[in-house]
Amino acid sequence: MRLFLGSLAIYAVLAVSTGEYLNEPDSYARLSAARVALDSPPFILDPWNKPVLTALAAGVLRLGGDEVVLKLVQAVLAAAALAITAAAARRAGARPENAFAAAALAGMAPFWVHGLVSLLTEISCALFLAAALWLWARERFALAALAVSFSFLARFEGVFFAAALAPFLLAKRSWAGLALLPLGPLLWNLAGWKATGIGPAFLLEKQPHEVVHATSDPVRVLLFGAMLVAAAGLLVLPALARVRRVPGPAPAIAAVTWTGHALLWTLGLMTSNGRPRYLVPMLPALAFMAAFGMERFGRRARVVLFAGATIAALFVAAYRKNTWEGLRELAREPRALTDEPTIAWYNGGGEKIDGWREAPPGTAIAWDVDEGPEGAFRDIPEERLRLERTITIPPRWPWQWTWEGRLYRLK
């Protein structure tokens, strides 16, 4: 309970201090879907939106909540995931102080903190995994399988969790658990079929990933190793310190999740390319492992670990992309046509630029120049556009670039 309340208090401060700012454009796209989801169930069931967080956000928005309230809800999910993971490690035999330290270290992981300010789906998926680890430690194998099954409704990483858990269920002769593993995806597919009429292969037909996205590159395996460090931070060190002594499926879940993502990216099968945040759902497994690996870290080593983790967490919490301010400024033009989800969320529109042919003269078009000439404006004749305003935001960090946005009017 101390871990839950302490982390919740810290995360609540983070939610309030960052206000309406969200650090991922995808966050605004999901919020736009959530805004209409209760009136249009297909938005909840859409594989890109993911049912768990979309339904939760839809309820909060319907009750009058805003970005801060949604972050507070995300904070509850994150704090619960940490507390449940620590409880699972204690139940499995880790010393209480080590379980607490490992979960606290996970709570400061760079992309765990990033997830709190992004309102994306990784943390909700991690909560299901934490519950599965706790249930497994209590030898409730079928219920652990059920938790893993429904993690798929939060994110597709549930497939990796299930693949890793299946051999353990087989070894325990948990036939009920094996039968329950596909239940979540099956129910989702059935609900989507009935709601949309697309057919019995709803998830396959609506899945948002291309069969082939990019060329393969073996160097990406090494890069994805670096992404694990970026996502989990210093939690990686105790997590890998005593892998062989960690009981249960946690090491297998972490290994299969990382390997699965690394292979998909290396073979060019990941539509949105590799990102560190994709590894956030497996952080409870790493924290569970770290609870046993902490035995190798003495007092001084722990001070160094937590000092480094605190610095990284504070940086992520304070960091802002310079693009957000410019997008927010462009969004002041009500109902401008745009393909940028941040602008669409704030200007109350959502109409895509593709609808320019039906739009009357004088219609505003808000364009994020980073989309490139082959994106939003590829079909609009240049003589139909009148530039009204250009906004530039200078970089604030060496790795940022000058952001440019433009507001046009249709002639």
Strand order of the sheet with strand 364-368?
A: 364-368, 403-410, 385-393
Residues 238 and 364 in one domain: no
Number of H helices, E strands in the chain: 20, 3
Dihedral Cα 312, 318, 321, 326, nearest 10 deg: 180
Residues 192 and 335 in one domain: no
Per-residue pLDDT tens for 247-263? 999 999 999 999 988 88
Query: Are 221 and 262 contacting, i.e. CB atoms less than 8 angstroms apart?
Result: yes
Say how many C-beta atoms besides its own lie within 10 A of residue 121's C-beta: 26
Query: Are 331 and 342 contacting, i.e. CB atoms less than 8 angstroms apart?
Result: yes
Listed residues 276, 292, 318: the one ending a domain = 318
Place of tokens 């871990």: 3
Q: Which helix (H) or strand (E) holds 391?
A: strand 385-393
Query: Are 259 and 202 contacting, i.e. CB atoms less than 8 angstroms apart?
Result: no
Residue 307: exposure state from Cβ atoms within 10 A (0-12, 13-18, ≥19): exposed
Residues 307 and 367 in one domain: no
Residues 119 and 208 in one domain: yes
Model confidence at 180, pLDDT cuts 50, 70, 90, reads very high
Residues 288 and 375 in one domain: no
Residues 343 and 227 in one domain: no
Listed residues 263, 298, 318: the one ending a domain = 318
**361 phi, psi to nearest 5 deg:** -55, 145
Per-residue pLDDT tens for 298-316? 999 999 999 999 999 999 9
Residues 230 and 357 in one domain: no
Listed residues 284, 303, 318: the one ending a domain = 318
Residues 292 and 208 in one domain: yes
Stretch among 19-28, 61-70, 236-245 having the lowest mean pLDDT:
19-28
Residues 139 and 287 in one domain: yes
Per-residue pLDDT tens for 109-123? 999 999 998 888 999
Alpha-carbon Rg of the chain, whole angstroms?
22
* C-alpha to C-alpha distance for 126 and 160, rounded to whole angstroms: 13
* C-alpha to C-alpha distance for 96 and 295, rounded to whole angstroms: 11
Sequence-separated (6 or more) residues with CB below 8 Å from residue 204 = none
Per-residue pLDDT tens for 27-43? 888 888 888 888 888 88
* Residue 395 pLDDT exceeds 80: yes
DSSP 243-279: GGG--SSHHHHHHHHHHHHHHHHHTT--TT---GGGG
Place of tokens 């919740």: 8
Place of tokens 């003495």: 298
* SS3 at position 410: strand
Say how many C-beta atoms besides its own lie within 10 A of residue 254's C-beta: 28
Residues 63 and 90 in one domain: yes
**29 phi, psi to nearest 5 deg:** -65, -40
Tell me the average pLDDT of the chain.
88
Residues 306 and 390 in one domain: no
* SS3 at position 331: coil
Structural domain of 267: 2-318
Looking at residue 219, its pLDDT comes to 63
Looking at residue 270, its pLDDT comes to 64
Q: What's the total number of domains in the chain?
A: 2
- Residue 82, token pair as written in the block: 């940490």
**196 phi, psi to nearest 5 deg:** -110, -20
Q: What is the pTM of this model?
A: 0.91
Looking at residue 272, its pLDDT comes to 60
Residues 372 and 282 in one domain: no
3-state helix, strand, coil in the chain (%, to 5): 65, 5, 30
Per-residue pLDDT tens for 262-299? 887 777 666 566 688 899 999 999 999 999 999 999 99
